[in-house]
């Protein structure tokens, strides 16, 4: 069963409780900034384990201490609950650095 994209109203409601994220080009977007490359890469490694467990994987890139993340559910053609679940977990992991 394919997830359904959330409506603009549902997205707006969920955004209110998701610190640091915005919508850019129809995707959840956040830049995480760390002190150095090792810390940023460690964050990505922890997120990769969570993403795999959720079966939902980010679009992301890393340049030194910055990790840029974009989340969307390609199969659904938009943002779904899975994107918000992964974003919230990423926030938790970033807070624990």
pLDDT at 9 (0 to 100): 97
Name the pTM for this structure.
0.95
pLDDT at 1 (0 to 100): 52
Q: Which residues of the chain have pLDDT under 50?
A: none
Q: Which single residue is written with the structure tokens 């974003």?
A: 87
Q: Which of 91, 33, 92, 94 is nearest to 64 (CA)?
A: 33
Show Cβ contacts of residue 4 under 8 Å, excluding neighbours closer than 6 positions. Answer: 76, 80
pLDDT at 5 (0 to 100): 97
pLDDT at 54 (0 to 100): 95
pLDDT at 34 (0 to 100): 97
């Amino acid at each position: 069963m394919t997830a359904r994209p959330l409506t603009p109203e549902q997205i707006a409601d969920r955004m209110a409780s998701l610190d640091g994220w915005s919508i850019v080009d129809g995707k959840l977007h956040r830049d995480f900034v760390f002190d150095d490359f090792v810390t940023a890469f460690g964050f990505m490694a922890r997120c990769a384990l969570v993403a795999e467990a959720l079966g939902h994987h980010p679009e992301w890139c890393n340049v030194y201490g910055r990790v840029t993340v974009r989340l969307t559910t390609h199969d659904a053609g938009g943002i779904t609950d899975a994107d918000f679940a992964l974003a919230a977990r990423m926030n938790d992991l970033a807070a624990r650095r």
